[in-house]
Chains A and B, each alone.
Chain A
């Protein structure tokens, strides 16, 4: 409780921690057999570590860090395809800053750039479109990735390109959706999760309805949460409350931003441009049915896979093996904590990541590496 005073509302945080403690006792969570709650979103993972919430909560409660970091779950084969695209003559490859460091089997986009490929970091897909407008002689490819929060923006960029007849702009689409990997995790016989803290900003787009199957089919509580420490603790308390009462429902702690129906206009934009692929590979989790999106036939001209014959567009589904010793898959499933991985902090660091979970600050290995030791050092 030493650092509670740092929070914006220490009294509220203290009260929530006491409530969480009582609920964990009531449920019977212990150090050896803790109540396990998965926070799905990488932003939540980052906040939990940054604010030290995993240390403030009782030993009988364990946070399991979910697959909600799109950079972390991007498979090596897709990075390889992207590197190959970037190396083609005339291609100007654009993407978000996080994505350029993800290792493929033949290095990252950053290494491709160092070797002479034209790779540029943009803030928005609309910036990539602007680059296409300004450089009509180049093929501007946007390496699109992200969950439902990001998808409306890329859909809007494609529709704008269509309206303006911009012919040198394509997407290499790696968009993924949140519900299918959760189903895959819940169907895994080794899974040991008691409840979920749902993503705040993905839910801003998709609403709360898509999580209903978790409660109804798998009888686990889900609480959609904001990002403040008090939001996260309140959401955890709400999950525990449901477990203690033997209930499983979808609840919304972040109602000040998230509406049950999400953002219908954003959903319509996404639906116009994208459709689910039959399967998509996730790093550490393997192929998951209907978990990735591709561009609809109508927008084939803006689809880099079709235009350049790469990836699934080339009929290739070639899962690339992870590096030797990398245990990202077990960490994502909650079967292992990052420091238990033999590569953690030695062969694999944020400066030189081997596994995907070390790449982005939202990845649980990177969060552990950055923050796990700080509080003890301060004490």
Chain B
């Protein structure tokens, strides 16, 4: 439960609710970006950026190399498939 999963923001879903669409392990779903979005820039600037997502919430920004390293580790420890299963089963996927 304490793993953050790297995700790439691909669109803004609902600016009022601070929801973006993120690609997480190949599954697209809405994530809340209120804690990582730059308050002085338009939300669309977030598109293309990498974040660490935990239970549908972006907790930290990460660079692409860090994201890739974490994704590799998730695959190695066998967590990636389980996480993808949770994502697919979720309502907003």
Instruction: Return chain A residues, CB-CB under 8 Å to B92.
Output: 123-124, 126-127, 130
Contact of A156 with B by CB under 8 A: yes
How far is A93 from B93 in the complex, measured between Cα atoms in Å? 20
Report whether A227 and B1 are in contact in the complex, using a CB–CB cutoff of 8 Å: no
| A-contacting residues, B2-41, CB 8 Å | 2-4, 17, 29-32, 34-36
A interface vs B, CB < 8 Å?
A: 8, 41-43, 46-47, 50-51, 68-71, 96-98, 121-127, 130-131, 146-147, 149-150, 152-153, 156, 160, 199-202, 204-205, 227-228, 256-257, 263, 265-266, 269, 360, 362
Q: How far is the CB of A169 from chain B (nearest CB, A)?
A: 14
Indicate which residue in B3, B56, B87, B91 contacts A153 across the interface (CB closer than 8 Å).
Answer: B56
Report whether A266 and B56 are in contact in the complex, using a CB–CB cutoff of 8 Å: no
Q: How far is the CB of B32 from chain A (nearest CB, A)?
A: 5
Indicate which residue in A71, A201, A265, A362 contacts B4 across the interface (CB closer than 8 Å).
Answer: A201
Show 22 A/B contacts (Cβ-Cβ < 8 Å), sorted by A: A8-B72, A46-B79, A50-B76, A51-B77, A69-B1, A96-B1, A96-B55, A123-B90, A123-B92, A124-B31, A130-B92, A149-B59, A153-B55, A153-B56, A153-B57, A201-B52, A202-B2, A204-B59, A256-B62, A256-B63, A257-B62, A263-B35
Known: A149-B4, A153-B54. A266 touches B59 (CB 8 A): yes
Instruction: Return chain A residues, CB-CB under 8 Å to B72.
Output: 8
Report whether A126 and B2 are in contact in the complex, using a CB–CB cutoff of 8 Å: no
Q: How many A-B residue pairs have CB under 8 A?
A: 126
Report whether B55 and A228 are in contact in the complex, using a CB–CB cutoff of 8 Å: no
Main secondary structure of the interface of B (DSSP, over half): mixed
Report whether B34 and A156 are in contact in the complex, using a CB–CB cutoff of 8 Å: yes
Instruction: Return chain A residues, CB-CB under 8 Å to B77.
Output: 46-47, 50-51
Q: How far is the CB of A73 from chain B (nearest CB, A)?
A: 11
Instruction: Return chain A residues, CB-CB under 8 Å to B3.
Output: 43, 201, 227
How far is A232 from B20 in the complex, measured between Cα atoms in Å? 32
Known: A47-B73, A205-B59, A256-B66. A149 touches B2 (CB 8 A): yes
Indicate which residue in A43, A121, A124, A265 contacts B2 across the interface (CB closer than 8 Å).
Answer: A43
Report whether B2 and A152 are in contact in the complex, using a CB–CB cutoff of 8 Å: no
Indicate which residue in B2, B56, B60, B63 contacts A125 across the interface (CB closer than 8 Å).
Answer: B56
